[in-house]
Each structure stands twice: as C-alpha cells, then as structure tokens.
Chain A
Amino acid sequence: MAETVSLKPGAARVATAGTPGEPWGRKPRRTLSGRNIMLYGTLLVAALYYLLPLYVMVVTSMKGMPEIRLGNIFSPPVEVTFEPWAKAWATACTGLNCDGLSRGFWNSVRITVPSTLISILVASVNGYALANWKFKGADLFFTILIIGAFIPYQVMIYPIVIVLREMGIYGTLTGLIIVHTIFGMPILTLLFRNYFSSLPEELFKAARIDGAGFWQIYFRIMLPMSLPIFVVAMILQITGIWNDFLFGVVFTRPEYYPMTVQLNNIVNSVQGVKEYNVNMAATLLTGAVPLIVYFVSGRLFVRGIAAGAVKG
C-alpha cells in the first residue's frame, strides 16, 4: 500500500516537505522521526479514546457481579462468564415481563426488515421519477421533502399520531413501518435521484425508443445497474432504523417495543439491584447488529453517510 502510494506525485506533499524538486521515488525510511512519533502517537491516543467504551462494555459483560464490585472497570475479567449474556438475552426484566431482550430483538427485526425494504422501494421509485420522468411540480414536492428533513421530528409526531389513529394502525408495527418509510424518504430520495441522474442519459433514451415504459425501464435497466446504491441505502436504513428510539417509543405499544426501547427500560429501571454486567451485555447485544453491518460493509458505510450527509 505505502509503496504504491509513494509512486504517485502527490506523495511528495508530505514525504519530501522542505525539499522541493527532489526526484520521486521510494521514501527514505525514517520510521522513528519526531514527526512520525507525534503523528502516530496522537492517532493512537485518539484510537484508545474511541475503543475504550467498547472494551469496557466487553470486559464488564464477562465479569460476575462480585468481581465488578471489587475491581475496576478497565481490568480484564479474572473469571470469564457468559452468564450475563444469557440473562440479558432471555430473563432480564422490564417491568412485569421477564423474557429478556430477545423479544425486543425480534420486534426490531420485524420492524427493520420491512421498513428497510419498503422505504427503499418507495424512495428509489421517487428518485427515479425525479431523475428521469420529471413532471411539472415534481421539484416543488422534492424541495418540501428536503426541507422537511431538517424539521425536528417532534414537530410532526403528533399529527402523524392522529393520522395513524384515524387509520386504525396507531401502536402497531404497520404504523411504525409507515413512519420509518416517511422519515427515510427525504434522504433516500435524494440519494437515488442523484444516482439515477448520474447514469448516462442515452441508456434511458434508447430504452424509450425501444418502447419501454416507466416500470419496465425501472425494473429492467435502472434496478440492475444500481445495485451498489441499493446496498448503500440498505446500510443507511438498517443502522438508522435499528438504532431508532423515539419512533419506537411513540408509535408502538409496549409489546412491540424495539430493542433500543427495551434496552433502555431494562438498564434504567429503578426496581431491583443494578446488575451492571447484565446491562452491559444487553447494551452490546443491542449494538451488535449495527456494528456487524458497519464492520462488514466497511467503505460502503462511509459512502452511505457521505452520500447522506453531503448533498450531491
């Protein structure tokens, strides 16, 4: 990696600071220069700050309560136990229910999977219509949508409660799925609109000349050509919906609470003795899904948030 990089002219910008005009080539190996010590030292300290909480979570979740009371939170477990994990998953209590986080986990799965699929389907069609089949007034709706992305959710929550109540689906999973589709729409529509606009227009025109219609072009040409952006959208939605707390607590009944809400109820419940190891195991379990998505997806995750964050 370092070798290939240093062949590019741009590498000179750091490697040869102070000696302009030096011929390109392999960098002199001065691994212990003061600059490098500063550079990597700072990065390592920062990396420690970021890794520390994850480490603390892991070690705490593997200790027994007596060991937690005696030792300090940074020390590795003397006696590794997975009891807290089992308890967090299967028997931790929220109020009267003592069936652990597993219920929340399955609720979250039942929320996240359909919400991700439906929101992406709806938003990709929107983006496609905006990019290739723009009708009069389409941009107005799109502008409202994008401005809406900045409006605090609290402003729109109650009207949605009323609408869902009128439809008879307030408190159900269906209602929550609709809410996720609505609030995922601005960012995803933007993502897909920009992506479809960047595809060569000739493709679209050729398909039109061949007589293909709106849906035919979408399913036969756009969809197969855009798999990477669909993956990016999926990463964005899976992590976003899994991590949601506010909509879960507002729009569902307790038996449908997603994992985040249940986790908060378990850890912050006032009754009983605090079992920190169980709490940390539960926290890790809840964070596991987005973390796995993150570590598996790697660069695509970065691309997703960059696409989501920086408007194209």
Chain B
Amino acid sequence: MTGQAHTGRPSKLLRNLSSKIASIPMMLTAVVIFLGGTIWTVVYSFTNSKLLPRAKFVGLDQYERLWDAPRWIVSIQNLAIYGFFTLVFSLVMGFLLAALMDQKIRFENTFRTIFLYPFALSFIVTGLVWQWILNPEFGVQSVVRSLGWTSFTFDPLYNADIVIYGVLIAGLWQGTGLVMCLLLAGLRGIDEDIWKAARVDGIPMWKTYLFIVIPMMRPVFITTLVIIASGIVKVYDLVVAQTSGGPGIASEVPAKYVYDYMFQAQNLGQGFAASTMMLITVAIIIIPWAYLEFGGRKRG
C-alpha cells in the first residue's frame, strides 16, 4: 500500500532497508522453518533414518511399513471418527447455542463466559478432568449405579471399542464454546433488515435460520470449519492426558504416532512418513478452501 514511501534511494536493495532488516525473523521463519523444514521432512520420509537422519533413500518403504502397521490404521480410523463427530457436533451445538444467545437474552455475558471458559484451558487439563469424570470406579458410572441402576455401564475410557468417544466428549467440551463465539459473531453480522423482511413475509423463525441466515453465513461457516478441521488433525495432548493412547492402542492418533516414532522408538523415517501423511491430510482440507477463499478474488 505504501510501498512508494521510499523512492529515490540509489540502490534497489537498499531501498526500504529498515523494513527488510526488521522482517528478517519473518523471512527466516517462513523460508527456513516453514518451507525448508517441511520439504526436509518430506524428503527424509523416503530414507531409512533410524536414530539420526541419514540420506539413504529407500523409496516408499516407510510408507508401505506405515500402512501395514495396525497402530497407524487404528490412528487413522480414530482420527476419522473423532474428526467427523467433532465437526458435526461442534457445528450443530455451536450453532444452536449461538442462535439461542442471539435471542436478546438476559445475562448474555454470563452465558458466554460459561460456554467459552473451557477453551482457555489446556488439552492436558481437559483430558485429566474428563479422565476423572469418566472414571468407572468413582465417576459418572458409579454415581448412576449408586442411584439404584446397578447394571448401568458407562466406561468409555476402559472400553477399547468406544474409547475414542470418551475423548470426543472431552474435546467437544473444550471446543464448542469457540465455535459458538465464531458463529455468534457471524449471526450478529447479518443485516437486521433480513429478519424484518422474513417476518413481514410470515416466514417462521426456524425456516428463516435454515434457508436464509445459514446460507448467508457461508463464509463464516467455512472459516469455522477450517479452524475446527486443522485443530482435529493436530489432536495430541488430549489423548496423551486422557488415555495415553490406551487401552492398548485403541485411542491412538496420528500426531501421537509421529511423536512416539520420532522421539521414543527412534525410528525417524517412520515418524517422517507419518507426519508427511498428516501434511497431506491438511493439504486436502486447506487447498480447496484457499482456492474458494482467495481464488475468486484478487490475491492478497
């Protein structure tokens, strides 16, 4: 915008010099860490690096091993289940809460504070609290049993078939407040005249939401979706705290696979291959979005 600020300096490279010097950290981060680091990891995922990275290329070996590993398959399945339900529930719950909050209610700030506070807490804290609440010996299960329903069973963290849903409950508790906030901001951005027009036409409120307001909020929904989705791929600390991946390998997730292979199993090649798969997953989400978001308009 103000690039013309410095004209008339002798050398092109020296022009705007302070700004360039000040931007060195940004340039280094962008080029060396983000671009260079990513390329480095992808390249080394084709090597058989073990304890230390070695440039001995073995083609797609690491990827074949990866997709043959039961633990990786479980991780991917868990991520798919966790991701799908997180998307659906956090969008539905977040939107319902936002719509309720948008009814000119009293104590709006109080409710917002309550819905959003878990978002301020770390995944470690979230995971540990829900580990305690879902503890079958003392938590929800035992409380319901003590009320007289003695055959009641609810022990997601100790049942390999449903453990990922136990993680999901905690994840939703932590994250829906954010979705609510984003969507509420979107709702507030809708022109009041739309509502008036809909009322004049006698359209019931739920129909106005469903067929007019939600389609109008498309950009907000897409942004929210991208934020939730990129958070899902990164899910790591929550699982570490709540279940440590157990029982057995039942609640493993890709990010944990990467960490364990890089820093504990000392099998760097596997870790790099798994992290490259994570990168591909994110690219599948981000590229269409970036295309929709920036492709139509002028770049910038």
A residues in contact (CB < 8 Å) with B: 1-2, 5-6, 9-15, 17-18, 20, 39-40, 42-43, 46-47, 49-54, 56-57, 60, 68-69, 72-74, 122, 125-126, 128-136, 138-139, 141-142, 144-145, 147-148, 150-160, 162-163, 181-182, 185, 189, 197, 201, 204-205, 208, 213-215, 239, 242-246, 250, 260, 263-264, 267-268, 276, 279-280, 283, 286-287, 290-291, 293-295, 298, 301-302, 305-306, 309-311
Give the docked Cα–Cα distance between A74 and B140 (Å): 9
Q: Name which residue of chain A comes closest to B219, CB basis.
A: A310
Q: Let me know if B128 and A50 touch, CB within 8 A.
A: no
Contact of B177 among A1, A50, A130, A283 (CB under 8 A): A50
CB distance from B144 to the nearest CB of A (A): 9
Per-residue 0/1 for B201-230: is the Cβ within 8 Å of any A Cβ (1 yes, 0 no)?
000010000000000000010011001001
Give the docked Cα–Cα distance between A302 and B185 (Å): 10
Given contacts A133-B18, A309-B178, contact A158 B114 (CB under 8 A): no
Q: Name which residue of chain B comes closest to A11, CB basis.
A: B104
Flag whether B119 is at the interface (Cβ < 8 A). Answer: yes
What are the residues of chain B within 8 A of A1 when measuring CB–CB?
106
Q: Let me know if A134 and B129 touch, CB within 8 A.
A: no
Q: Let me know if A12 and B196 touch, CB within 8 A.
A: yes
| B-side interface size class | 35 or more
Give the docked Cα–Cα distance between A68 and B139 (Å): 10
Contact of A156 among B3, B38, B117, B263 (CB under 8 A): B38
Q: Let me know if A185 and B25 touch, CB within 8 A.
A: yes
Contact of A162 among B15, B53, B271 (CB under 8 A): B53
Contact of A39 among B25, B53, B105, B129 (CB under 8 A): B105
Give the docked Cα–Cα distance between A291 and B185 (Å): 22
A-B contact pairs, 28 of them (CB 8 A): A14-B103, A20-B196, A39-B103, A47-B111, A50-B114, A52-B133, A53-B129, A125-B23, A126-B22, A132-B1, A132-B5, A134-B3, A135-B23, A138-B23, A141-B23, A144-B30, A148-B29, A154-B262, A201-B1, A214-B18, A245-B241, A263-B128, A264-B128, A267-B128, A276-B135, A286-B124, A305-B181, A309-B223
Q: Which of B115, B124, B220, B224 neighbours the largest number of chain A CB atoms within 10 Å of its CB?
A: B124
CB distance from A109 to the nearest CB of B (A): 15
Q: Let me know if B105 and A287 touch, CB within 8 A.
A: no
Q: Let me know if A47 and B120 touch, CB within 8 A.
A: no
Flag whether B31 is at the interface (Cβ < 8 A). Answer: yes
Per-residue 0/1 for B10-49: is the Cβ within 8 Å of any A Cβ (1 yes, 0 no)?
0000011011101101110111111111101110000000
What are the residues of chain B within 8 A of A279 when measuring CB–CB?
128, 132
Flag whether B122 is at the interface (Cβ < 8 A). Answer: yes
In residues 271-290 of chain B, which contact A (Cβ within 8 Å)? 271-272, 274-276, 278-279, 282, 286, 290
Flag whether B199 is at the interface (Cβ < 8 A). Answer: yes
Q: Let me know if B114 and A159 touch, CB within 8 A.
A: no
CB distance from B146 to the nearest CB of A (A): 6
Given contacts A13-B192, A150-B282, contact A134 B1 (CB under 8 A): yes
What are the residues of chain A within 8 A of B138 when measuring CB–CB?
68-69, 72-73, 276
Q: Let me know if A15 and B22 touch, CB within 8 A.
A: no
Q: Let me know if A50 and B5 touch, CB within 8 A.
A: no
Given contacts A1-B106, A145-B34, contact A302 B112 (CB under 8 A): yes
What are the residues of chain B within 8 A of A156 when measuring CB–CB?
33-34, 37-38, 41
What are the residues of chain B within 8 A of A162 when measuring CB–CB?
53
Give the docked Cα–Cα distance between A125 and B20 (Å): 11
What are the residues of chain A within 8 A of B18 when measuring CB–CB?
133, 213-215
Q: Let me know if B23 and A294 touch, CB within 8 A.
A: no
Per-residue 0/1 for B135-149: is the Cβ within 8 Å of any A Cβ (1 yes, 0 no)?
100111011001000
Q: Name which residue of chain A comes closest to B229, CB basis.
A: A150
Q: Let me know if B233 and A283 touch, CB within 8 A.
A: no
Given contacts A156-B37, A283-B128, contact A305 B20 (CB under 8 A): no
Give the docked Cα–Cα distance between A302 and B108 (Å): 13
Give the docked Cα–Cα distance between A20 and B193 (Å): 13
